Chains A and B, each alone.
Chain A
Amino acid sequence: DTAVSQTPKYLVTQMGNDKSIKCEQNLGHDTMYWYKQDSKKFLKIMFSYNNKELIINETVPNRFSPKSPDKAHLNLHINSLELGDSAVYFCASSQDWNNEQFFGPGTRLTVL
Chain B
Amino acid sequence: AQSVTQLGSHVSVSEGALVLLRCNYSSSVPPYLFWYVQYPNQGLQLLLKYTSAATLVKGINGFEAEFKKSETSFHLTKPSAHMSDAAEYFCAVSRGIQGAQKLVFGQGTRLTINP
CB neighbours (8 Å) of B105 from chain A are 42-44
A41-B88, A42-B108 in contact; A55/B97 too (CB < 8 A)? Answer: yes
Contact A97 B99 (CB under 8 A): yes
Residues of B within 8 Å of A4, CB to CB, are: 43
How far, in whole Å, are A97 and B103 apart by their CA atoms in the complex?
10
How many residues in B have their beta carbons less than 8 Å from beta carbons of A? Answer: 29
Q: A60-68, A76-84, A98-106: which lies at the B interface?
A: A98-106
The answer on a CB contact under 8 Å between B51 and A103 is no
A4 to B: closest C-beta gap in Å: 7
Main secondary structure of the interface of B (DSSP, over half): strand
Q: Can you list 27 A-B contacts (CB < 8 A)? A: A4-B43, A31-B99, A31-B100, A31-B101, A40-B107, A41-B38, A41-B88, A41-B108, A42-B108, A43-B90, A44-B105, A48-B97, A48-B101, A49-B100, A50-B98, A55-B97, A55-B100, A56-B102, A92-B43, A94-B100, A97-B95, A97-B96, A100-B46, A101-B103, A103-B43, A105-B43, A106-B42
- Footprint of A on B, CB under 8 Å? 32, 34, 36, 38, 41-46, 49, 51, 88, 90, 94-105, 107-108, 110
